[in-house]
DNA sequence: GTTAGCACTCTGGCAGGGAGAGTGCTAACC
DNA sequence: GGTTAGCACTCTCCCTGCCAGAGTGCTAAC
């Protein structure tokens, strides 16, 4: 008993670490509780199953392992996974072959950020056999690069806004009366002048200062207000969009064999608010972050793990790529893949900004 | 025996129809096989359970009902559902209260087609308790309404194409060398002139005829070719995008309680090729169409039913709204909802075109 | 043609039992 | 003192048998 207390409070000795690692890696591949005999058989531990049992009991006391019932093998707890992730997070590069393969795939698609997100999500999904997720790079505050106003019919015009990082927003504007395209082009030109490189706040300020003698001043104001709203809407959303791919991979995992759990996972992915929060935290930190089971706040995410990495530049725009899977995730591969893809996305975004 | 053969070949008499209808409606609500006693208890049939059993046996012989095992109640076959759908397809208007509710919801969102698709899908989902699907209205051939070219950096420009029906396509163009925004604007102006209201084919023809003395002719050609490719890519895709909502509703149905089936349903929804085919057929016919179970070609869709209705104008652009659910679907409600929403979308699209 | 009655069939749930896996404890060993 | 062999114990899993219940199909009477 005294021995146990000592072990459970102090750091793990090397042998305990090796055994914990073995349990986790075995469980990740087999998805069944791991017994002491299986460990001795499959790993060169150099001790008997009885000794292993003693250590398993200690690891369980320390909260790193659990067992579903008396006569079952051990499974890792979220805390066990956490320890494991900490121990490997700094050293899990993606094998070079796969790096080359991914680079090749990115070389194949058209040079357009939208394609990248999809590709990032699907690449991650196929490499990790879990769900891949990716969000577009989003700046803290949208800035206008260009405004265009296209006539649709007598009462409607389409306001097209190109943002600084190249993404596009569109909104239909109802016109007070019929206007020809020429007038609309003039209005767009005024807005391009007034709101050039402006954020929502600055665009608002510029509109207030607008010279009332400007041609079509009323229309400029009307469209300008809509422009500001488009920018504000964009800024308000924490995450613009979450691309995901390979959800079926997660579905295939035995822990999600029953549809009730599947339901939760899907709910989780729909949980934009929480994802937005995570994206923010990950973008802030600038490094790969892992969120395991109960470390996630929403109850629906208590059975999944997320590996997220930011890309982009904090002073410009940031997005996130990552993996969503069962807590029984192949963490080293997931971390390696996500880290590599985020680096690649960095390069691409850098190229966009020069 | 002679009696059975007569019945199984001829059309159904009124009583058989009433019983078939009762079985289907009962099964749709309870999701459990329907027994003769349950029918007598719950529907005013005026006959005993023994008589009902005789008729059930006939309906089974006619291929309209089935029973999973000897001592189980009856469930409808796809042919049974088909008969039912034919019998109610012309008369299942959506209750006025719900019509008003939907109109109200559409009044709430911003006037922009993208919002409509999402709203259509989610409205249909919540009203039918199945998955709602919607595709944007897509013309047979894209036509350019306006072209814009925005500088991103020394090597890149963003080509923005507004199509006639107001949707937007974007593509990044690599520039042979640094160009200022003014040059790009000139190039865009030339393209706006040359490719005004053009389809991919006409734009190609116009580029061929381009006067080589045009300022920046080489750049115009380069961007023009990309423009043509954007149009061609758009035309090529049978369905641009399929919005869906309420997949969780389908997931909740007892027939999809096991994840293997769920998997198939998701695969089915990813099956853009088949959906594109259906959309084409529905758009062509101009009316609500129902596809039940085995009537669907892809094996993954043999357990689902689709109710689809086109909207838009055949000579302009057409899209589709619909329901995807288990074959055990509340068809009258689904048909009524889909028909009404498609009508509403018609109004909105008409408004867009004036 | 309809119905009551009845034998029959099949499912679903429950209890019992044996095999198997794995544990925790104890006592012997190095 | 840590390590190990041995062993009793526990719990799951799976199979079997059993029973109640639901529903059918058939027959004979109405």
- Opening angle at CA B171, ends B168 and B172, nearest 5: 145
> What are the tens digits of pLDDT across the range B43-94?
988 899 999 999 999 999 999 999 988 888 999 999 999 999 999 999 889 9
CB contact under 8 A, A160 and B154: no
Note the pLDDT tens digit of each residue in B247-295: 888 887 888 877 777 778 777 777 778 888 888 889 888 899 999 999 9
Cα B9 to Cα B51, B55, B79, B158, distances in angstroms: 20, 14, 14, 66
Phi, psi of B233 (to 5 degrees): -60, -40
pLDDT of residue A10: 57
Q: Please give the pLDDT value at position B344.
A: 95
Kindly tell me if the per-residue pLDDT of A7 is higher than 70: no
Min Cα–Cα distance to chain B from A316, Å: 14
Whole-number Å distance between alpha carbons of B253 and A203: 50
Residue B7: predicted pLDDT:
39
CB A305 within 8 A of CB A82: no
One-character DSSP codes across B167-187:
-EEEEEEE-SS---HHHHHHH
Task: Kindly list the distances between the CA atom of residue B97 and the CA atoms of A186, A226, B94, B103, B321, in Å, as whole numbers in the listed order.
Answer: 46, 33, 8, 10, 21
Say if residues B311 and B319 touch (Cβ distance below 8 Å).
Answer: yes
Q: What confidence tier does B10 reach under pLDDT thresholds 50, 70, 90?
A: low
Q: ∠ CA(A263), CA(A269), CA(A272), 5° rounding?
A: 135
A259 and B267: CB-CB below 8 Å?
no
B171/A112 Cβ within 8 A: yes
B345: left (phi over 0), alpha (psi -120 to 50) or beta: alpha
Q: Does residue A38 approach strand C to less than 7 Å at its CB?
A: yes
* Tens-digit pLDDT profile for residues B150-194: 998 888 899 999 998 788 899 989 999 999 999 999 999 999 999
Using the CB atom, is residue A72 less than 7 Å from strand C? yes
Query: Which token pair is A2?
Result: 């005294």
Interface test with B, best of A143, A170, A300 (most B CBs within 10 A): A170
Structure tokens at A201: 């706040």
Instruction: State the pLDDT at residue A76.
Output: 97
A207: enclosing H helix or E strand: helix A200-208
Question: Distance of CA A116 to CAs A16, A103, A125, B160, Å?
Answer: 43, 11, 14, 18
Q: Is the pLDDT of residue B11 over 80?
A: no
Q: Is the pLDDT of residue B2 over 60?
A: no
Neighbouring CB atoms inside 10 A of B329's CB total 26
What six digits make up the tokens of A53? 């049992």
The alpha carbon of residue A172 is apart from the nearest alpha carbon of chain B, in Å, by: 6
Radius of gyration in angstroms for the set of CA atoms belonging to chain B, rounded to a whole number = 26
- How crowded is residue B46: how many other Cβ atoms within 10 Å of its Cβ? 9
pLDDT at B323 over 80: yes
pLDDT, tens only, A132-155: 999 988 888 999 999 999 998 888
Provide the token pair at A24. 């986790």
């Amino acid at each position: 008993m005294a021995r146990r207390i000592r072990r459970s409070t102090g750091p793990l000795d090397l042998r305990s670490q090796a055994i914990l690692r073995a349990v986790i890696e075995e469980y990740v591949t087999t998805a069944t509780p791991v017994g002491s005999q299986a460990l001795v058989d499959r790993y060169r531990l150099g001790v008997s199953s009885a000794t292993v049992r003693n250590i398993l009991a200690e690891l369980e006391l320390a909260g790193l392992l659990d067992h579903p019932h008396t006569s079952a093998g051990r499974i890792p707890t979220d805390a066990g996974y956490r320890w494991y992730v900490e121990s490997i997070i700094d050293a899990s590069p993606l094998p070079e072959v796969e790096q080359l393969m991914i680079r090749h795939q990115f070389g194949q698609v058209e040079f357009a950020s939208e394609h990248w997100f999809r590709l990032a999500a699907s690449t991650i999904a196929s490499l990790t056999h879990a769900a891949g997720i990716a969000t577009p790079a989003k700046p803290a505050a949208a800035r206008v690069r260009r405004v265009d106003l296209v006539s649709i019919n007598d009462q409607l015009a389409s306001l097209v806004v190109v943002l600084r990082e190249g993404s596009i927003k569109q909104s239909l504007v109802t016109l007070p009366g019929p206007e020809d395209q020429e007038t609309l082009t003039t209005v767009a030109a005024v807005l391009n002048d007034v709101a050039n490189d402006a954020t929502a706040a600055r665009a608002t300020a510029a509109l207030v200062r607008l010279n009332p003698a400007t041609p079509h001043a009323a229309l400029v104001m009307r469209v300008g207000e809509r422009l500001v709203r488009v920018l504000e809407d964009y800024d308000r959303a924490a995450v613009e969009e979450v691309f995901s791919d390979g959800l079926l991979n997660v579905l295939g995992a035995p822990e999600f064999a029953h549809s009730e759990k599947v339901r939760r996972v899907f709910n989780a992915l729909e949980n934009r608010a929480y994802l937005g929060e995570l994206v923010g935290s990950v973008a802030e930190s600038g490094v790969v972050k892992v969120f395991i089971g109960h470390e996630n706040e929403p109850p629906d995410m208590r059975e999944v793990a997320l590996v997220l990495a930011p890309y982009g530049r904090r002073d410009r725009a940031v997005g996130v790529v990552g993996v969503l899977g069962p807590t029984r995730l192949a963490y080293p591969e997931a971390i390696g893949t996500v880290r590599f893809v985020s680096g690649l996305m960095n390069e691409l975004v850098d190229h966009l900004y020069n």
